[in-house]
Structure 1
Amino acid sequence: MGITISAAIIIKNEERCIARCIDSLLPLFDEVVILDTGSTDNTIRIIRDYKDEKIKIFFSNWEDNFAKARNEAMKKCNCKYIFFIDADEYISSDITEFTCELKRIDEINNTRNNDAYAYSPIIKDHENNITKNIRRVFINCSEFYYFGYIHEELRRKGNKKIIDKEIKITIQHDGYKKEIIKSKDKQKRNENLNLKNLDAEPKNLRWIFFHFRDSFENLPRKKYTNHFIVK
């Protein structure tokens, strides 16, 4: 199997930005796997207007669980590697940069334990803040899965360690502009799903952090917030 790569996107009502995302993906990826979880706007029409064989659309009910949606999308991917990207993101690296990094990923995976590595691109938001530690790229195998209702994280079966590597592929992200958060009611959604993460894993520092970060002004559940403030 050669160096092939699938882009995977979870979408719902993304007419504002889905074309921008797809336009950045088509020159770079062998397939673009899109899982729609209930769009009621023009998102699907925009996607179908491309009439490109690389684009594969699937449909699923939204169950308040981002990890479940990602895991379902993974099953639809056919390439050697999977690259998750959100609809409110787009890749700004050119094809030369992208191809070089993909070759480097493949070299690492071919010489070492290839089901242990996950790769984090450079994610730049609308205020030019940069994040380099979100796992987005990994080999397509049954070893990997996502966990978490929101702020889901990539894991390996059997609680095996993932070896993290940074890659020089840049993603631009604008989904957390204030007006977008308000229009899509992201804050309320995030608060509710963060609490589900805490119910599932109350001692996981990742979920504690995101609970406070996303709902600090409201602190909606005293049994968690009071406990951790005291600690």
Structure 2
Amino acid sequence: MGVSAALIVKDSERCLARCLDSIVDAVDEVIVVDTGSSDRTVAIIESYQNKHDHVKLFHFAWINDFSAARNYSLSKVTNNWVFIVDSDDVLPEQDQPKVREYVNRMNKKNEQAVFDIVYDNTVDGIITESISNGYVRLFPSELRYEDKIHEQISFGTLKRIQSDIHLLHDGYDINFIDLKEKKKRNLNMLIESLKEDNDNARLWLHLGREMSVVDKDKARRYLDIAETKAKSIELIKWIQRSKEDLN
């Protein structure tokens, strides 16, 4: 009834050791899925395997589908609960005991739920933005992801709880990341995904949000489409907030 961490990685030598250091003692198992690294990523994972029996490395051929890779990582988890991290995340030291605390609390009550974490975006090590909901990262390991990009966990009628676990994330720090290339990749993947799933309001929302830094008029048009297709109140509110951010 323990908890595993699961992460998918590719060419993550810049930040992977820092991430693994922050989670290796916080969980009972660490599942790392490499999706085709050409740098020292695999060597770094193997060095952790040599020191920690509960660190496990798997390989998955990248097919332009984040959910497929995430779901493969979930299929390798052997515990009932999973904590999702990315290689450019760090679990702060004061929050490391909290992962097991939340899981133990639920296990004692024999209950299931999904937990949002607080996502702290950083630049130069300084928190520039804290997002307190929208990032479900701790949940029962039998659940699975949907959507090829900006993937979301599908949790049905399970209760969704806001936790006080923080993750520090530097994936938008321009000192390390080419944001223009990242946006271009995301836009291309969203457009391709919508060819297969044109009625997916969440994909239209993300297309509008990604487009907002390139072309605000197109962004508004995509957000309007998202609103016409959205069925949940929560999603409609997110779309409306995104429209307000354009003004």
Shorter-chain TM-score range: 0.7 to 0.9
Instruction: Report if the CA contact (8 A) 1:146-1:152 is conserved.
Output: yes
Q: Retained in 2: the 8 A contact 1:101–1:168?
A: no
Q: Provide the TM-score with structure 2 as the length reference.
A: 0.78
Alignment CA distance shift 1:216-1:61 (3 Å): same
The match for 2:69 is: 69
- Paired residues, number: 219
Give yes or no for the alignment of 1:172 onto 2:171.
no
Give how far 1:228 is off.
5.2
Distance 1:58 1:72 in 2: 9
Q: Deviations over 1:177-225 (max 9, x none)?
A: 1243318931221111122333344343322221122233445xx7x97
Aligned to 1:138: 139
Within 1, Cα distance between the matches of 2:222 and 2:57? 44
The yes-or-no answer on 1:161 pairing with 2:157 is yes
CA contact (8 A) 2:27 2:100 kept: no
Change (3 A) 1:215 1:113: same
Is residue 193 from structure 1 mapped to residue 194 from structure 2 by the alignment?
A: no
Which whole-Å CA distance do the structure 1 matches of 2:39 and 2:222 have between them?
42
2:24 is the alignment partner of 1:26: yes
Aligned to 1:85: 85
Deviates more, 1:161-170 or 1:193-202: 193-202
Q: What whole-Å deviation, never above 9, does each CA across 1:124-182 have from its counterpart, x for those lacking one?
A: 011431112211111122xx1101111100004xxx33421111211100011124331
Contact 2:31/2:55 (<8 A) preserved: yes
8 Å CA contact retained: 1:135, 1:154 = yes
CA deviations over 1:62-116 (Å, ceiling 9, x no partner): 000000100000010111210010000010043xx543553334433553652xx
Please name the residue that 2:198 is paired with: 202
Q: Which amino acid aligns with 1:196?
A: E
Distance 2:175 2:186 in 1: 16
Task: Say if 1:200 and 1:179 are closer, same or farther in 2 by CA, change over 3 A.
Answer: farther
Secondary structure, counterpart of 2:18 in structure 1? helix
CA distance in 1: counterparts of 2:196 and 2:132, whole angstroms: 27
Distance 1:206 1:30, change over 3 A: same
Aligned residue number for residue 123 of structure 1: 119
CA distance in 2: counterparts of 1:38 and 1:118, whole angstroms: 30
Which residue pairs with 1:16 in the alignment? 14
Counting aligned pairs with the same residue, the percent is: 29
- Larger RCO, structure (CA 8 Å, separation 6 or more): 1
Whose helix proportion is higher, 1 or 2?
A: 2
Distance 2:30 2:171 in 1: 20
Please give the alpha-carbon distance, in whole angstroms, between the structure 2 residues aligned to 1:33 and 1:25. Answer: 11
Unaligned stretches of 5+ in structure 1?
none
- Matched with 1:55 is 55
* Greater than 6 Å deviation, 4+ residue runs: none
- What amino acid maps onto 2:137 in structure 1? R
Q: TM-score, normalised by structure 1?
A: 0.83
| Unaligned stretches of 5+ residues in structure 2 | 229-247
Mapped partners of 2:137, 2:26: distance in 1: 15
Distance of 1:132 and 1:227 partners within structure 2: 25
* Structure 2 Cα separation of the partners of residues 184 and 62 of structure 1: 21
